[in-house]
Amino acid sequence: MLPARLILEDGVLFEGHSFGASDDAIGEVVFNTSLTGYQEIATDPSYRFQIVTMTYPHIGNYGIDRRVDQSDAPQVAGLVVRELFEHPTHARSQMSLSDYFTLHAIPGITGVDTRALTRKIRSEGAMRGMLTTSGIATGDAVATIREAPSMTGLDLVQKVTALRPHLLHAEGEAHVRIAVYDFGVKRDILRHLTGRGCEVVVYPATTHPNDILEGGFDAVVLSNGPGDPEPVVYAQASIRKLIGRLPIFGICLGHQLLGLALGGRTYKLKFGHRGGNHPVKDLQSGRVEITSQNHGFSVDPDSLNESEVELTHINLNDGTLEGFRHRNHPILAVQYHPEAAPGPHDSFYLFDEFLAMIDQFRGRSVS
């Protein structure tokens, strides 16, 4: 392994050894607290332009199984780990994590004190950084990092959305047709829909809402995705035209875009929520779910009109908004990931609530 460095924009550096590609990479340095699921994390489009630090120390031990990919290829800018396993022995492993990253030109660094790095991010906030195997001077690297775009104000949806619509057939007989706005959709969201008898058509993020309204759909899903929701103004405009016309389910970035479309505001979190162990309270039932999360922005609950929007879920770690419903229109939105992948299965029920909302809307439309 080549010597490698992670250099942060404030000049602090962490040393280790390279795995995967030896290319340099720049991105926002964040951390994820999941114990497993490094492959799902690496292939989640919501991690575009991010160098992800895994807080669990042993990464790569069960290799790579392409059946659990959340997109066609890794989306992270790079990966930081404490200890890389190079020779996995799992029965379903098709290759090592290092070989997988080499195949897709993604760099990683192992041997880093990830506890120290995580503490720094928690205390000072997410910041840009560079993964490098070159001999670039730290000062020169910092200058280059600071020229890179900040996550605030950055529309990354265009980097990950589908280029054209595509159809996914339901498992078994189809009884619902769903249009999915692809802002960086994870495959497990689509699997949950098709597995519940939904025929799904995935649309590019810039699709005109009339194409959805004229397409014979029963409902719309607004997917997860990367970057700052505020500059994604084209999606906000489309959502406004769909509100009240079809049931809508917003997930993660979709939740944020719905909040903006309803007149709310969003803001950047200090270090975000990323991992499979975030406690969320359902304000209606009092039930606490352990959830899977990946987001760096949040909807300001005070910016939403309480006469129209009912807050449904809050994060028990920091009190941030995790979900809402509309009081007059069929809208359900959550900040976390009900499909998990990776993470606990506490929130699978939300897909069933969405389908029940569709049935209720159908009945109301018929009557």
Residues catalogued as catalytic? 252, 337, 339
User: Helices marked H in 74-181 — which ranges?
Assistant: 97-103, 114-124, 138-147, 157-160
**Sign, Cα dihedral of 207, 304, 252, 359:** negative
Are 239 and 248 in contact by the 8 Å Cβ rule? The answer is: yes
- Angle value at C-alpha 342, between 351 and 313, nearest 5 degrees: 50
Q: How many CA atoms lie within 13 A of 269 on its CB side?
A: 22
Are 327 and 314 in contact by the 8 Å Cβ rule? The answer is: no
DSSP 8-state secondary structure symbol assigned to residue 67: G
CA distance 232 to 59: 34
**Sign, Cα dihedral of 276, 278, 282, 286:** positive
Q: Could you give the C-alpha distances from 192 to 72, 168, 201, 217, 295, in angstroms and in order? A: 18, 12, 14, 17, 21
Tell me whether strands 321-326 and 248-251 are parallel, antiparallel or unpaired: unpaired
